[in-house]
Structure 1
Amino acid sequence: MQFHVDMKSSDDLTIGELAGRFGLATHVLRHWESEGLITPRRLPNGRRRYDFPDVVQVAMILRGKEAGLSLEDIRETVQAPDGAARRKVLRRHRDDLQQRIDRLQSAKSMIDHALDCKAPDVWECGVFRARIMALVPPA
């Protein structure tokens, strides 16, 4: 997927402008800064200023959150010392994500069966009950 970013609109943004661009509250960016995820430059008066790399970083943080990563997971990825270390972290995150996807697909399959089941009530369906029982941990 390609996207075009107007560099002029990405240079020297205030915290309000950057937050507004992504539909975020400014306190979210302050929190991410305190967590070490973004590092805006500071003007002599202490005000934050964001440029294009910060815009990209915010987009990456949001994508990571959409993928179910915690801020700690994202920080670990961002702060990895080099490409090899970053790939190792990303492989682990990918594997965790795949496990979540597998669990969600299994849950969706159960719901699909319940919706298509010919039994008068899904609770009476032997297939559905067997799938539920497979989820019960042994005593």
Structure 2
Amino acid sequence: MSIGEIAERFGLATHVLRHWEAMGLITPARVGGARRRYGPDDLYRVAVILRGKEAGFSLEEIHEMTATSDAAKRRAVLLRRREELARRIAEAQASLELIDCALDCDHEDLPGCPHFQARVAERIPAVVTP
């Protein structure tokens, strides 16, 4: 497949794929001099990069993780990102529960509803004493 076909398939600009290639994240075959040709393995690499970005990995972290054969290095990168992703998921879950609580609330004054207040209470910072 050409760079244009891959870009269209993933909804990316071609310059993004060129940047990823310059970083060493993808290595399409070259035919006829400079024409890039992407194969099935490249499809998976692009998908890995996109999934990694969705999980909060930087391009540098994705490169570090995919370019190393050192399992301990890869594991360290994955563990760091896993902790951050778990935190983001917990925050998103708490937000979803707050929205569900608001949807189920019949009070005219939503912020005054005791059930709603109980869901929001964890976001109130504790008093800091000197």
Query: TM-score, structure 1 length as denominator?
Result: 0.74
Partner of 1:74: 62
Alpha-carbon distance in 1 for matches of 2:62, 2:76: 13
* RMSD between aligned residues: 2.3
Alpha-carbon distance in 1 for matches of 2:116, 2:64: 41
Alpha-carbon distance in 2 for matches of 1:29, 1:132: 43
1:99-139 per-residue CA deviation (whole Å, 9 max, x = no partner) reads 11111101111111111123222111134235434323345
Q: Is residue 97 from structure 1 mapped to residue 79 from structure 2 by the alignment?
A: no
- Consecutive unaligned residues of structure 1, counting only runs of 5 or more, are 1-12
Partner of 1:109: 97
Alpha-carbon distance in 2 for matches of 1:35, 1:128: 48
1:37 pairs with one of 4, 9, 25: 25
Alpha-carbon distance in 2 for matches of 1:72, 1:99: 21
Q: How many residues get paired?
A: 127
Q: Is residue 15 from structure 1 mapped to residue 3 from structure 2 by the alignment?
A: yes
Partner of 2:39: 51
Partner of 2:72: 84
Identity value in percent: 53
Partner of 1:7: none
1:35-57 per-residue CA deviation (whole Å, 9 max, x = no partner) reads 33112233463222222221210
Q: Is the 8 A contact 2:98 2:116 kept in 1?
A: yes
Alpha-carbon distance in 2 for matches of 1:64, 1:33: 16
Alpha-carbon distance in 1 for matches of 2:59, 2:124: 32
Query: TM-score, structure 2 length as denominator?
Result: 0.78
Alpha-carbon distance in 1 for matches of 2:96, 2:13: 33
Per mean C-alpha deviation after superposition, the further-off stretch among 106-115 and 34-43 is 34-43
| Structure ranking higher in helix proportion | 2
- Consecutive unaligned residues of structure 2, counting only runs of 5 or more, are none
- Kindly tell me: are residues 137 and 75 of structure 1, through their superposed partners in 2, closer, same or farther at Cα, counting changes over 3 Å? farther
